[in-house]
Structure 1
Amino acid sequence: MHILIVAPEQIPVPGSGSVEICILAIARQLARNHRVTIISKRSPTLPNQSLNGNMVIIRVPSGSTKTYISSVLHYMNGRKYDVIQVDNRPHYMARIKQAFPRTPVTLFLHSLTFVPKDRGIASCLKKADLIIANSSSLKEKLAKRFPDSSKKIKKVELGVDISRFRVASEMEKVTTRRKYLGSHPFTILFVGRVIPRKGVPILIEAASLIRRSIPVHIIIAGSGTSAYMKRLKLQAYRMGVPITFIGKKPHSTIHKIYRLADCFVCPSQKHEAFGLVNVEAMASGIPVIASRNGGIQEIVQHGHNGYLVDQYHHPQQFASYLLKLATDKSLRERLGANGRSDVLQHFTWSRTAAKLASLYRNLQV
C-alpha cells in the first residue's frame, strides 16, 4: 500500500510533540512493508523533503490552519494513495475526503482535545471511513459523544521504542544520576507538560508527606509558563521537598532521563486518552504510580507493574505507594520487570503498525 499520513500544523515532523512522535514511529514501522508519505509543516531547520527508504516526509507552508490545509491539498493534487490517515484534525480529514471521495480516509485521534461535542465535528466524523482511537477509554468516550459514528471507531494502542527505552545498566544509572543529582536519594520522575491538569502540585505534596521517613528527590522533565514554574518551585521550597526542573528534553534523548528514576509518577488530574510516558517508564523497567483515569488504567496494572491511585485529587494515596516503593527495592525491581515484559507483549510500535496495516488492508476490499 501507499499510505499518506497528514500531521497537524503546529509542530514539524520529526518533533517533540506526542502526536508527532507517534506519527514518525508508526510511519517507520509501516515503511518496512509499505510506501509511506508524511505531510508536515515546513520548518527553517528542516529540508522541505526528507527521504528514508520507503518513507518520505514532505514539509509544506503553514502559518495558519487555512494555509496549511491548502498547502496539503495542493501537494496532494494529482497524486494517488491507497489510504490517507489524518491525525487529530477532523476538519482536515473532512476536506481531504471531499477532495478524494474514492480513497479511504481515516482519522487517528490521540485525545478528545480536537473533537468537542458539536454538530460541525459530528458532521466531519461521518465522512471518515475509519476512526482510530488509541485506547478503549477514548473509543468509549467518542462513541458516547458521536453515536452516529460509533460503529467505525477502532482501537489501536500506541507503542514505544523498546531499543531506546530499556532497562539501564548500573553504570548508566550512576553516570546519569551523578550529572543531575550528585547524591542518591529515592528519586521520583515526572515527564510531560508542566500544566495544572498534569498534577505536579499533588506530587510535591505527596513527596512532602514521606520526606521525613526517607530522603526523596523529584525530577521534573518538561516545561510550562514561567509563572506556573515559579509557583511550583515556591511550593516545593515551602514544603522542604528537593526538586530539580531539568526542562523539556528532545524526545531523541529523553530515554536517558528515565535512568534517573526509582519510580515514575503520573498524577494526571483530568482524562488521559493513553499516557505514553507511562509506557516509556515501564519499558525502562521503572514502576509507575499513576492516576486511575482514562487509558492509563489500561496500561498500569495495580500491584503488577505499578499502582493506580483512585483518590488522585489528593496526595495521600500517592504518598502511601511512594513510601511502599521507597522502602522495598525488591518490590521496585519486580514491578519494573513486569512492566518491561508487559510492554514487549502489548506496547511496541511494530504491533501498533501491524494493527493499523490490517485495518487499512480491509478498507481496500
Structure 2
Amino acid sequence: MQRPKVAVVTPGSFVIPSPRSSSVERVIACMVPLASHVLQAQIYGIKGTETPDHGDVDGVPCMRYTRGAGYIPEVIADLKRWSPAVVDVHNRPTAAHAIREALPDSRVVLTLHSTTFIREPHLKREDIGRLLLPLDRIVVNSAYLGVSVAANSPAVVRERIVVNNLGIHPGDFLPRWTPVGEAVRAARLDDFGWSGRRIVLYAGRLMPGKGVHRLLQALRRVVRACPDVLLLIAGSAYYGHDRLTPYTASLRRQMRKLRLEKHVQFLDYVPHPALASLYQLADVAVVPSVEDEAFGLVNLEAMAAEMPVVASRIGGIPEVVRHGETGWLVDPSPGEREMAAAIIGLLRQTGLRRRMGEAGLGEVRRRFLWQHSAQRWAQMMLDCATE
C-alpha cells in the first residue's frame, strides 16, 4: 500500500530543527520522523542562516522559506504542486484556514499546542468557529485544551477534536537514581561549586503566566527550613536570547528584596539539549504556572530524569503529574505556603524523592514516549487520508 502524502506546516517562527526553537518545532522534529514508515511526510518551515533551503529533519524532507508575510503563500504554492492527502498545520488557525481554501482536495488538520492563538489578541472569539469549521480535525495535546477549544466552537467542530498527548525520549535524560547518575551528578555539582546544596529547578520562559514570582515567594519559606537550598532559574523571556523585560527585571528586584541572592542562580536562556544536564543536577523541579498550561512538557522532562515535580494544579498539568505519586499539585496560597511545604517535604525526604522520581520515569515509559505520540498521530493522518 502506498504511503499517503502528509504535509506538516510549522508556525514559521523558528527554524526546524534547532536547539533554540519553541516546543512546537521540537514536537514536530521528535514525532514526525517516527511515523515515516507509514506516511510520506514533508515538513515546511522557515530558512535559517545555517540551514539549507531544502534539507531534512531526521530523514524527513524539510522545505524552508523566508520568514514573514510571504511564508504561508509560498508554502501554499508548493503544497499545490505536491498535492498532499493531508496537511497538518501547527498552532496557526488562520494559516490552516487559508490552506483549506487553497487546497480543497486535501484534508486539513490543525494541531494546537496551547490556547494562545485561539484567543485575543490573536483571534477574536466570534472568529473561532468560522476558522475551525472547515477543518477536518483539530488535534490537541490534552483533554483540558480540547475542552477549551470546544467551549467556543460549534457542535460539529467539537466532534472533530482529538487528543494526542506529547512525549519524551527517556534516553535524552540520565536517570538520577542509578550509581552512574549519582556519580555524574556529584562530580558536576562539585564542578559548579554547588556540592552540599539541595537544588530546586525552574526551566521555562520568564513571563508572568509562568509564575516564577510565586516560586520566589515560596523560596523565602524554603530557605528557613532548608538553608542550603539553591534555586536554578533556567530560562529567559524569549526563545534563543536573554533580552531583559520588565518582568525579568522585576524577578531580580524581588530576589534582592527577599534577600535571596545566595539562594538563587539565574542561568538565562539554556538551549534545549543542555537542559538535560540541569535536570540531572536537581532534587526537585517546580512548575509554578498561574495561567493555564495546555500540557507542560517540562513536567515530562523532569519525570524522565527521575525527579519529582511540584506543579500548579492548573490546565492540563494534572493529566501529566499524578498527585502524591509522581509529584505534588499545589494551589495558590497566602505566601505560597502550600508550594513551599511541598518543596520542603521533598527536600527533607530522600526516600520520597526517589519513590516519586522512579514512579515518574515509569509513567513516562508507560504513557508518554514519542513513539506513543507518533503512533496516534500517524493513525489520525491515515484516517483523514482515507475519509
1:202/1:313 contact within 8 Å kept: no
Secondary structure at the aligned position of 1:127 is classed as coil
Aligned residue type for 1:23: I
Aligned residue type for 1:27: V
1:176/1:256 contact within 8 Å kept: no
- Is 2:326 the partner of 1:323? no
Separation (CA, whole Å) in 1 of partners of 2:289 and 2:334: 9
Q: Describe how 1:1-365 pairs up with structure 2 within 5 A.
A: 1-15=4-18, 16-51=21-56, 54-63=59-68, 66-116=69-119, 117-148=124-155, 149-168=157-176, 169-214=181-226, 215-224=228-237, 225-241=244-260, 242-311=263-332, 314-363=335-384, 364-365=386-387
* Offset, 1:256: 1.2
2:219/2:340 contact within 8 Å kept: yes
Percent sequence identity is 31
Runs (5+) with no aligned partner, structure 2: 238-243
Q: Count the aligned residue pairs.
A: 363
Q: TM-score, normalised by structure 1?
A: 0.95
Separation (CA, whole Å) in 2 of partners of 1:96 and 1:313: 48
1:123 to 1:238, Cα distance in 2 relative to 1, 3 A: same
1:167/1:285 contact within 8 Å kept: yes
2:240 corresponds in structure 1 to none
Runs (5+) with no aligned partner, structure 1: none
Separation (CA, whole Å) in 2 of partners of 1:302 and 1:61: 45
* Offset, 1:52: 5.3
Structure 1 runs of 4+ off > 4 angstroms?
Answer: none
* Offset, 1:177: 2.2
1:223/1:247 contact within 8 Å kept: yes
Separation (CA, whole Å) in 1 of partners of 2:29 and 2:328: 30
Secondary structure at the aligned position of 1:257 is classed as helix
1:210 to 1:62, Cα distance in 2 relative to 1, 3 A: closer
Secondary structure at the aligned position of 2:70 is classed as helix
1:36/1:54 contact within 8 Å kept: no
Secondary structure at the aligned position of 1:315 is classed as helix
RMSD, aligned α-carbons: 1.6
Q: Out of 47-56 and 204-213, give the one that drifted further.
A: 47-56
2:241 corresponds in structure 1 to none
Secondary structure at the aligned position of 2:224 is classed as coil
